[in-house]
C-alpha cells in the first residue's frame, strides 16, 4: 500500500466511526432510560397495591358473611 492510502484511511476511519459510536451511545442510553422508567413504574404500582391491601384487608370484610 502506498502511504497516501494509509493516511487517507487514518483520516477517514475516525470520521466514519465517531458518528456511529455516538448513535450507539444514544440508543443504549435510550434503552437504559426506558428500562429504568419501567422499573420505577412497576415499583410504584406494586407499592400502590400494597397500600390498598393494607387499607382494606380482605379477611375483615369476609368475617360473618356467607358466600
Mind listing the pLDDT tens digit for each residue in 8-54? 999 999 999 999 999 999 999 999 999 999 999 999 888 888 877 77
Any domain includes 40: yes
Residue found under cell 415499583: 43
Cell of 36: 429504568
**Residue 46 pLDDT:** 86
Any domain includes 25: yes
Residue-number span of the structural domain to which 26 is assigned: 13-54
Instruction: Evaluate the CA torsion angle 12, 16, 17, 22 in order and state its sign.
Output: positive
> Considering its fold, how many domains does the chain have in total?
1
**Residue 63 pLDDT:** 55
Any domain includes 64: no
Instruction: Evaluate the CA torsion angle 42, 47, 50, 56 in order and state its sign.
Output: negative
Total-model pTM: 0.58
Interatomic CA distance for residues 32 and 57, integer angstroms: 37
Amino acid at each position: 500500500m502506498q502511504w497516501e492510502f494509509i493516511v487517507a484511511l487514518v483520516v477517514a476511519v475516525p470520521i466514519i466511526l465517531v458518528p456511529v459510536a455516538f448513535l450507539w451511545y444514544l440508543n443504549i442510553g435510550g434503552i437504559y432510560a426506558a428500562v429504568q422508567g419501567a422499573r420505577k413504574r412497576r415499583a410504584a404500582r406494586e407499592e400502590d397495591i400494597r397500600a390498598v391491601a393494607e387499607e382494606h384487608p380482605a379477611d375483615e370484610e369476609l368475617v360473618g358473611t356467607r358466600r
